[in-house]
């Protein structure tokens, strides 16, 4: 790269430099001209005016002003500002390489920094000649001209920043410091800072500019720090006594008071000083701490922080233009010689180049802003052809922007700045567009992005002048423009740059990921969508991980949200057509009905896995978008595309579930999975299948409430069908086991039966809670909000009915299996019971065999079944046992078995009941047990006891009567130590038995049961004729043994009869009863009135038992007598 590639600013001389002779001729001419300007005698104007007229001829003006725009030292009158400006413009427009070269050589010869030495000077001259590509002959002429120019006017710029740890000079332990500075060669011309009262660590930050008339390298700057002592009276001094610090402070105050009182002096005291040689100051300046000294004392007096820099006087416009051109030449030479790659150079020149640059800036008196603006112009120009590091421009902006923001838009500096912006911005936006061109692991891309965003942030904070168009259409064709005349700004350009880069990348991956559309299968189309979304998501993940924080921190832009919004519409357009097409190609499956007669072959079922994978990927992608963007997204409505696919997935899930349940049952060994549970592997596998369906539903997460209800209702129905299917298949499995072992004489209850029952019940109990995990309640609630509460209640009722029907069906299946078990156990139980009741010998083992069989069966049931199922099977066995007992009772009654048989059977039943009470569990069929036991007790009684039982029933019936058509009988009765004192008092409303409407009655009293009172005779009263209200009033003393008195169920039967006229027979009227227990409960002497009644031949258990004793004379006579009384 050569200097010939400089912009047109140097084009006036660029083309001539190809020919050395032309170059030489041009240079000689310019040299002679400049030499003549510098050496001609200056003629003083004879005019009285103190200001040079603007109408002076050019020759005259050139004798007054130097080439660099400064006023000649030989001119002692003022020069009009317009003359200076016009001269500066002329110099800038006519500036050539040789002019600039001459100025640089002049500055080298007049170096004002500490780097000035002959060896350094020679090296710089050689470097400059090489950089400017000046031939030797031309170089000699220009050097001579540069040496003849008058030296520059040098100034020393000093900034007194602050001091620390100064020595105390006042009585209060502090000082009132101020700074005095002067050049050693001109001590009378001193500069003073402000006074900082009462401090040992003052801060000034004050600037001074000292002219240097003699050789700057030999000058010494003296900086002194003094303690200011104000003029005070003795009284004012004394008032400071309270502020005194320490004995030393008191001593100082006393001394000051004495001096003031005697002479009135108030001299300032020197704290310390520092001498600084100017030859130690580099051209770039320095900031250094200097220790303050005074004489030869070694005591510390504090330190002073000073900033020092040297500068020369020059016209700023000319100096700035020179600096711009110098920077271009130096940078182009640097890039050419170093072969620096694009985006690498970050502003660090070689030592010689940097020395020349800083020397020119110092001798030109350029401020940091002017230097930075010159760099901004030069570097942005070079950046168009050779990309520089963005860090360079970022650092320049830190200096330029604060100043530019306060300048008027029509100033030259503002125009220069925005020209640089126009040249720099295209490369900045190129970085945003090409972020994906490099791997994020490359730290340079992240660093470059940080710098670019910093640059854009700083630029967008400035107001763009109306006359400046920083986004010309010829350069920014990718910026999205509307029909409106709105001006593009930095923010919109950033978004367009991001979208443009995203569009280019998306087009690249879309074309590179898809095969030929004509040969693609449905699965390949879906795989294409998956791959596309994965790549887009990876890009978003990369954006969130590496770039989001940078964009937001720098310019408050959500980078990943911008990417997502661009991808959203594009992906929606691509995915929608493919997914709808694939769903339309799905063929409907043949799902088994509720009879489960067959199951489809899974190999022939299109599993739809890829389609579901696409659904999940889209769902997760949309969730990511909702977390990134607040705007509405097109892809948010993706789910209707999959409606047909969801139905297909649900059909697949029920077919797979049924097949897997069947396989789990076939492989089940019907053994508990571990010691803590009482169900086997098929139950666990079935719940795992249900869990997979639940996971599918949770992953589906259908957002639309009506569709969600339809799908979840189908899932609930399918789960219920699976439960019923499991119960049916498990029942068949254990029934097949029984058929294989059916040759055994006795049914042996195995563990497999119990495990099967537990499995079915476990699935049944788990179903409601499992279905609840499908969030049905939330769906119903949303449905009520979306529609009406009535519709929601109907939907909830429908699902509830489906669940209850399934639970009832499975419960019935369990009960049916339990009934099968009970029926299988019934034959051996019946046989053992019959044998045990038949054989009366004590050494019979039938009862032992029965108990062993029951114990073995119940132990298996208790150990294997859970509590609920154990209770169920006990009820089932007991139900079968009740049937057996009824059969045995009835069949043996027909065979006229003796009471002993039924007694044995009753004892056996009691033993079985005790056996069935295991733990806290016992049979719940109390009514059946009571009925059977009651019948067995009756049939085991002797005939007299049965008759007594009948009268006890009559007693209970009598107590329940409120009135009687046969009248009432009143008695008093009391049990005594020796027997019974009975008084028959009277009767009322007796039933007339004679034709005259009256009755001849008497009362007959007998005791029951007769077997208990064999030694007692019947007692009776006298006959009372023709009276329905007879007054008997007869007392009887009956001797009873203690045993007889203690039996509370003993009865007194009172029979009232009508005496026949001829005394041949007495006619039965009615009877009443009272027990010994009732007598004990009645207070002594209290009258007992009893309703009279006639015995009825009704459906009584006692009478039925007596009827079966056809061969028993006592029973036969009693029944005959009872019939006569009932029908009399």
* Residue 971 banded pLDDT, cuts 50, 70, 90: very high
CA dist 88 → 65, 94, 872 (Å): 10, 10, 115
SS3 791: helix
DSSP conformational letter for 1009 = S
Most confident of 121-130, 405-414, 473-482, 526-535: 526-535
Give the pLDDT score at 1033: 92
How, if at all, do strands 1066-1075 and 1051-1059 pair? Answer: antiparallel
d(CA 983, CA 1005): 11
152: DSSP letter: P
Q: Which of 927, 880, 948 is nearest to 1105 (CA)?
A: 948
pLDDT digits (tens, 9 = 90+) for 87-108: 555 555 566 888 888 888 888 8
Of 403 and 855, more confident: 403
Give the confidence band of 824 by pLDDT, cuts at 50, 70, 90. Answer: confident
Q: Which residue has the higher pLDDT, 845 or 423?
A: 423
- Of the candidates 267, 269, 236, which has an alpha carbon nearest to the alpha carbon of residue 168? 269
Phi, psi of 53 (to 5 degrees): -70, 145
From residue 1010, how far is each of 768, 948, 1044, 1114 by CA, in Å? Answer: 65, 8, 11, 11
Least confident segment among 305-319, 411-425, 563-577, 825-839: 825-839
Q: What is the mean pLDDT of residues 894-910?
A: 75
Angle value at C-alpha 21, between 16 and 25, nearest 5 degrees: 80
Its pTM stands at 0.61
Please say if the pLDDT value at position 1022 is more than 70: yes
The Cα 708–Cα 716 span in angstroms is: 12
Q: What is the pLDDT of residues 214-248, one digit of tens each?
A: 776 778 899 999 988 776 666 666 666 666 776 67
User: Does pLDDT of 213 surpass 80?
Assistant: no
Contact (Cβ atoms closer than 8 angstroms) between residue 427 and residue 387: yes
**What are the DSSP calls for 1066-1127, one per residue?**
EEEEEEEEEEHHHHHHSPTT--EEEE-B-------HHHHHHHT-TT-HHHHHHHHHHHHHHT
Determine the pLDDT at residue 564.
93
Place of tokens 């095969």: 515
Q: How confident is the model at residue 148 (pLDDT cuts 50, 70, 90)?
A: confident
Q: Of 426-430, 595-599, 797-801, 1020-1024, which range is least confident?
A: 595-599
Separation in Å, CA 737 to CA 273, 732, 750, 817, 861: 115, 9, 10, 13, 17
Instruction: Please state, in angstroms and rounded to a whole number, the distance separating the CA atoms of residues 713 and 801.
Output: 11
Least confident piece of the model among 26-30, 437-441, 1075-1079: 26-30
For residue 912, pLDDT over 90 is answered with no
Which residues contact residue 565 at a Cβ distance below 8 angstroms, ignoring those fewer than 6 apart? 629, 631, 633
More confident residue, 343 or 1123: 343
pLDDT given for residue 671 in this prediction: 87
The whole-number average pLDDT for the span 533-552 is 91
Residue 590 predicted with pLDDT over 60 = yes
Q: Alpha-carbon distance 50 to 45, whole Å?
A: 9
Q: Hey, what are 483's tokens? A: 């029909």
């Amino acid at each position: 790269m050569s200097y010939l590639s400089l912009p047109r600013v140097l084009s006036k001389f660029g083309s001539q430099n190809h020919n050395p002779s032309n170059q030489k001729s041009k240079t000689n001419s310019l040299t002679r001209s400049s030499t003549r300007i510098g050496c001609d005698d200056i003629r003083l104007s004879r005019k009285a005016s103190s200001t040079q007229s603007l109408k002076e001829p050019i020759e005259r003006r050139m004798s007054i002003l130097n080439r660099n725009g400064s006023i000649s030292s030989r001119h002692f009158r003022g020069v009009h500002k317009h003359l200076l400006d016009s001269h500066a413009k002329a110099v800038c427009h006519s500036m050539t390489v040789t002019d600039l070269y001459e100025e640089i050589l002049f500055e080298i010869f007049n170096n004002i920094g500490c780097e000035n030495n002959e060896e350094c000077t020679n090296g710089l001259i050689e470097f400059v000649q090489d950089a400017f590509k000046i031939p030797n002959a031309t170089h000699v002429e220009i050097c001579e001209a540069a040496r003849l120019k008058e030296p520059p006017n040098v100034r020393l710029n000093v900034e007194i920043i602050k001091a620390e740890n100064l020595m105390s000079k006042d009585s209060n332990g502090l000082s009132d410091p101020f700074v005095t500075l002067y050049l050693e060669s001109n001590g009378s011309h001193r500069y003073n800072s402000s006074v900082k009262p009462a401090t040992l660590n003052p801060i000034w930050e004050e600037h001074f500019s000292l002219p240097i008339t003699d050789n700057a390298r030999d000058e010494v700057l003296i900086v002194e720090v003094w303690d200011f002592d104000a003029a005070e009276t003795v009284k004012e001094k004394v008032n400071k006594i309270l502020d005194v610090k320490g004995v030393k402070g008191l001593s100082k105050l006393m001394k000051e008071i004495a001096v003031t009182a005697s002479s009135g002096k108030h001299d300032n005291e020197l704290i310390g000083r520092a001498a600084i040689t100017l030859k130690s100051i580099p051209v770039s300046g320095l900031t250094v701490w200097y220790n303050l000294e005074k004489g030869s004392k070694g005591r510390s007096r504090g330190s002073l922080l000073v900033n020092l820099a040297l500068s020369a006087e020059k016209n700023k416009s000319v100096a700035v233009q020179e600096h711009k051109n110098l920077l271009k030449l130096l940078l182009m030479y640097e890039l050419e010689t170093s072969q620096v790659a694009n985006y690498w150079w970050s502003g660090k020149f070689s030592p010689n180049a940097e020395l020349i640059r800083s020397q020119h800036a110092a001798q030109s008196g350029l401020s940091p802003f002017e230097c930075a603006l010159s760099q901004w112009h030069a570097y942005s120009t070079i950046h168009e052809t050779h990309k520089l590091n963005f860090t360079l421009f970022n650092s320049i902006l830190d200096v330029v922007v604060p100043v530019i923001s306060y300048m008027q838009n029509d100033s030259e500096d503002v125009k220069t700045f925005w020209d640089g912006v126009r040249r720099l911005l295209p490369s900045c936006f190129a970085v945003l567009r090409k972020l994906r061109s490099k791997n994020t692991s490359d730290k340079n891309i992240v660093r470059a992005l940080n710098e670019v965003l910093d640059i854009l942030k700083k630029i967008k904070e400035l107001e763009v002048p109306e006359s400046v168009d920083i986004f010309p259409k010829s350069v920014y064709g990718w910026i999205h423009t509307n029909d409106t005349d709105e001006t593009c700004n930095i923010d919109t350009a950033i978004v367009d740059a991001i979208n443009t880069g995203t569009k280019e990348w998306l087009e690249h991956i879309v074309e590179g990921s898809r095969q030929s559309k004509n040969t693609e299968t449905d699965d390949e189309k879906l795989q294409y969508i998956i791959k596309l979304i994965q790549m887009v998501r990876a890009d978003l993940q990369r954006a969130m991980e590496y770039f989001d924080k940078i964009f937001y921190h720098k310019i408050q832009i959500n980078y990943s949200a911008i990417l997502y919004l661009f991808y959203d519409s594009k992906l929606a357009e691509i995915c929608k057509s493919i997914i709808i097409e694939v769903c339309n190609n799905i063929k409907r499956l043949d799902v088994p009905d509720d009879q489960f007669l067959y199951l489809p072959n899974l190999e022939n079922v299109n599993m739809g896995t890829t389609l579901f994978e696409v659904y999940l990927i889209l769902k997760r992608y949309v969730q990511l978008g909702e977390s990134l963007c607040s705007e509405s997204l097109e892809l948010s409505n993706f789910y209707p595309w999959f409606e047909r696919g969801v139905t297909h997935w649900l059909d697949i899930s029920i077919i797979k579930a049924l097949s897997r349940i069947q396989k789990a049952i076939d492989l089940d060994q019907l053994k508990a999975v571990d010691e803590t549970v009482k169900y086997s592997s098929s139950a666990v596998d079935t719940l795992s299948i249900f869990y997979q369906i639940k996971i599918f539903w949770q992953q589906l997460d259908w957002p639309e409430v009506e569709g969600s209800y339809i799908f979840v209702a189908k899932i609930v129905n399918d789960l219920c069908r699976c439960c019923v299917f499991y119960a049916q298949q498990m029942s068949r499995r254990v029934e097949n086991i029984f058929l294989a072992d059916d040759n055994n004489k006795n049914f042996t209850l195995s563990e497999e039966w119990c495990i099967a029952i537990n499995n079915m019940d476990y699935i049944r109990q788990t179903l409601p809670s499992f279905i609840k995990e499908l969030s049905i309640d939330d769906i119903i609630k949303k449905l009520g909000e979306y529609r009406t509460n009535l519709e929601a209640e109907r939907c909830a009722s429908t699902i509830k009915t489906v669940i209850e029907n399934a639970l009832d069906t499975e419960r019935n299946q369990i009960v049916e299996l339990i009934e099968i078990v009970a029926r299988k156990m019934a034959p051996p139980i019946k046989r053992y019971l019959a044998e045990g009741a038949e054989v009366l010998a004590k050494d019979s083992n039938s009862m032992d065999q029965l108990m062993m069989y029951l114990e073995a069966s119940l132990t298996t049931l208790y150990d294997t079944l859970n509590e609920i199922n154990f209770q169920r099977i006990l009820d089932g066995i007991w139900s079968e046992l009740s049937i057996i007992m009824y059969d045995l009772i009835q069949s043996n009654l027909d065979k006229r078995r003796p009471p002993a048989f039924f007694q044995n059977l009753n004892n056996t039943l009691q033993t079985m009941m005790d056996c069935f009470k295991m733990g806290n569990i016992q049979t719940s069929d109390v009514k059946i047990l009571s009925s059977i036991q009651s019948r067995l007790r009756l049939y085991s009684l002797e005939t007299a006891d049965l008759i007594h039982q009948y009268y006890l029933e009559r007693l209970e019936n009598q107590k329940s009567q409120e009135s009687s058509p046969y009248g009432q009988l009143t008695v008093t009765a009391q049990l005594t130590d020796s027997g019974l004192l009975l008084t028959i008092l009277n009767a009322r409303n007796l039933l007339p038995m004679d034709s005259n409407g009256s009755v001849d009655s008497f009362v007959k009293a007998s005791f029951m049961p007769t077997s208990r009172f064999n030694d007692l005779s019947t007692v009776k009263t006298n006959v009372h004729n023709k009276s329905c209200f007879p007054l008997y009033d007869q007392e009887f003393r009956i001797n009873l043994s203690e045993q007889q008195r203690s039996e509370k169920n003993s009865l007194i039967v009172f029979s009232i009869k009508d005496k026949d006229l001829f005394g041949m027979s007495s006619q039965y009227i009615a009877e009443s009863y009272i027990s010994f227990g009732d007598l004990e409960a009645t207070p002594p002497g209290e009258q007992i009135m009893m309703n009279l009644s006639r015995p009825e031949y009704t459906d009584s258990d006692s009478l039925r038992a007596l009827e079966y004793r056809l061969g028993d004379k006592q029973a036969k006579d009693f029944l005959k007598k009872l019939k006569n009384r009932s029908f009399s």
